Amino acid sequence: MNHSVVSPRGRTDDHAASCDSADYAGADWAWEFLRRNDDYIADWRSSVPRHLPCVTLKDRTQLLRLRRRFPRAEKWGLYTFADPKLCPHQAPVFWHTSALKGVVRLNAQRPNDPDNASTARTLADFNVDRRAVIGIDGVTLVLMKGRGSQVPVEIHGLSVLTAPFAPVFELHDLADLAGQTELLRRLQRFTEQRHGAIQKPPFTSDARLRHALIALDESLKGRTYRQIAITIFGEKKVAEEWHGHSQFLKDRTRRLVAKGTELMKGGYRALLS
């Protein structure tokens, strides 16, 4: 079966149909479902401007600096609108801090102090893709993504993003300890030259999400459950099981359509790390 992500309905000009989902993080899957939402597409079409320019810093971090807020985009969990024609590898999607379930927060200290010299870092030390957004409050959010995992890092006190700094991590309360520990472990792996894929929880199983996305697209095209099942599981399997005593395949197809629809209509937020 082709593991590329299918394109949103009615988008014959969409070049994202062949976008490889092998290294998708939860936030990438969230964008795949959101960009199929008609209400989101309508809001994007009426937004001004539709596109804000990013600059690429010398360390290859993509940076977006906001001069004002975009409340309609924030409603969808974004700092600003992203083009729904583009897949996650092509679209600079900047998820808003308020929509993210887990964020690493740090204060950037001066690295030339004796106590901080040994812990000095730069963003380039994190060997992953980095997209940064500076909000109107001057706070920087860096979305670090690599090998199927994303870690959002909120940085205070770093005026030049390419400059070295000594990170002092914040913990708001003990209830946040387990989540922060896991995020910091992922962040540490990002500094290694070779880091393996992150173990994902069952809900974010790529196979399940891929099937739900295909089921959603086929459903939006008006396909029957049987046609959807053939697309996902193959004609042979459907021919053997569709009219059998067990309703497993039919029920599974219905659940996939329901899950895809739920994720498109707002459930995508549960996929945001």
| Whole-number pLDDT of residue 199 | 53
CA distances from 225 to 33, 70, 164, 208, 237 (A): 19, 39, 55, 17, 14
Q: Find where tokens 């690493």 sit.
A: 104
Orientation of helix 248-264 relative to helix 26-34, angle to 10°? 80
pLDDT, tens digit, for every residue of 49-104? Answer: 888 999 999 999 999 999 999 999 999 999 999 999 999 989 899 999 999 989 99
Segment (H or E) for 28: helix 26-34
Please identify every stretch of the chain with a pLDDT value under 70, giving residue numbers as ranges.
1-18, 114-118, 193-204
Residue of 110, 117, 85, 93 lying closest to 15 (CA atoms): 85
In order, the DSSP letters of 197-235 are PPPPPGGG-HHHHHHHHHHHHHHHTT--HHHHHHHHH-H
Q: Of 134, 130, 124, whose CA–CA distance to 97 is shortest?
A: 134
Q: Domain limits of the chain?
A: 16-190, 202-271
